[in-house]
Amino acid sequence: MNHATTVWQANRFGVMTGAEALVETSLAAGVDVCFANPGTTEMPLVAALDSVPGTRAVLGLFEGVCTGAADGYARIAGRPAMTLLHLGPGFANGIANLHNARRAHSPVFNVIGDHASWHLAHDAPLTSDIVSLARPVSGWVGTAASGAGLARLTARAIGAAGAAPGCGATLIAPADFQQEVLKDPVDVELPGPQRRREVATEVVDALAKRLRAGERAVLLLGGAALDERGQRAAARIAAATGAVLYSETFPAAAERGGGLPDLDRLPYFPEKAVEALSGAQLVVLAGALEPVSYFGYEGIPSLLAPPGTVEVLSTPEEDGAHALEVLADTLGAPGPPSPARPDDAGLPDG
């Protein structure tokens, strides 16, 4: 559920700018790290990062570093990171890693400083169609039309970025609206806690029936199903049914550590992937997409699982870890044994 807040933190001159409203709103929405490669059109936002306490600004010397860092931060922290990039050409320099972020469903909040709105009609050398550049790597794109609009669209962008399964959100901020002095506080709707959908009971029951029947099964884990809970539940299912476990070939992130199951990635080369899946009568997707060959090879199928074997337990939008736990409980799979702990006697404190 969203909740309303009022953005108003006057600077040392007793006023607030649109850029400061943007930074304040992002902080209120839980975004406190900004990976920045700014230029002329972002200078008001650079000043705002200094004048509004709370945001850690990290300078990147190339835009691809900023977008890659924001992607990595979002994957591990599980919450949005901000990028600050210069016009369309600067944003374009970061698109390769934003493509990776899109594939990983990373909640990345991009802010792009654009020319002043009154200057765009003159087609300056660095003017470009930023919206067209942003759409392929963004689930949400917006352009501010006022200083107050910067605050309101920031809240919408961060909400869109964090909605399951996560996506890039790109806000275009014209320089004149960054500089605009706001005489009154701005009311914004901040995004509330984001929860993934739970899987329908009938989906779990249908798969449990097939697994009880002894079908040779592969569980392919991805996304949220690769956290500790999901892996432990998948290990219970494998122990109870003989199913083979794989993760996606290139998972966004996967927890590792003592007591977690050995979990191989599905092989990258299509011949090996086809071989790994060839004996399966049932390929269960938990947060993963149906495996596809990364390139087309003559004589090798594009879809790697045997035809007719793929069933979806949970989509990337759904709570894959919870779905695996429910499936394990439905099967009556015993809980995993407590992992053996190393002797920690003599280890230092702190």
pLDDT tens track for 312-322 = 999 999 999 99
| CA 161 centroid distance within chain | 7
- pLDDT, position 258: 83
- pLDDT, position 337: 59
Whole-number Å distance between alpha carbons of 248 and 226: 9
The residue-averaged pLDDT of 85-93 equals 98
Q: What is the residue-averaged pLDDT of the chain?
A: 93
Whole-number Å distance between alpha carbons of 289 and 277: 15
Q: What does the DSSP 8-state code read for residue 196?
A: P
Note the pLDDT tens digit of each residue in 30-77.
999 999 999 999 999 999 999 999 999 999 999 999 999 999 999 999
Note the pLDDT tens digit of each residue in 195-245.
899 999 999 999 999 999 999 999 999 999 999 999 999 999 999 999 999
Whole-number Å distance between alpha carbons of 144 and 79: 23
> Is a pLDDT exceeding 60 seen at residue 339?
no
Note the pLDDT tens digit of each residue in 341-350.
555 567 778 7
3-class SS at 102? helix
DSSP E strands, the chain: 3-7, 16-17, 33-37, 56-59, 81-86, 108-114, 140-143, 168-174, 181-182, 186-190, 217-221, 244-247, 264-265, 282-286, 310-314
Note the pLDDT tens digit of each residue in 188-203.
999 988 889 999 999 9
pLDDT confidence of 278, banded at 50, 70, 90?
very high
3-class SS at 305? coil
The overall longest dimension of the chain from CA atoms, in Å, is: 73
For the chain, list the domains and their CATH numbers.
Answer: 3-190 (3.40.50.970), 201-330 (3.40.50.1220)
> Is a pLDDT exceeding 90 seen at residue 11?
no
Choose between 286 and 183: higher pLDDT.
Answer: 286
The residue-averaged pLDDT of 117-130 equals 97
Using alpha carbons, select from 100, 93, 99, 170 the residue that is nearest to residue 134.
Answer: 170
> Is a pLDDT exceeding 70 seen at residue 81?
yes
The residue-averaged pLDDT of 253-273 equals 92
Whole-number Å distance between alpha carbons of 75 and 235: 23
The residue-averaged pLDDT of 253-258 equals 89
The burial class, CB within 10 Å (0-12 / 13-18 / 19+), for 279 is: exposed
DSSP 228-282: HHHHHHHHHHHHHH-PEEEE-SS-S-----TTPPP-EEPPSSHHHHHHHHTT-SE
Percentage, residues of the chain above pLDDT 70: 94
Kind of pairing between the strands at 56-59 and 81-86: unpaired
Task: From residue 157, give the alpha-carbon distance in Å to each of 25, 54, 150, 260, 309.
Answer: 11, 19, 10, 36, 38
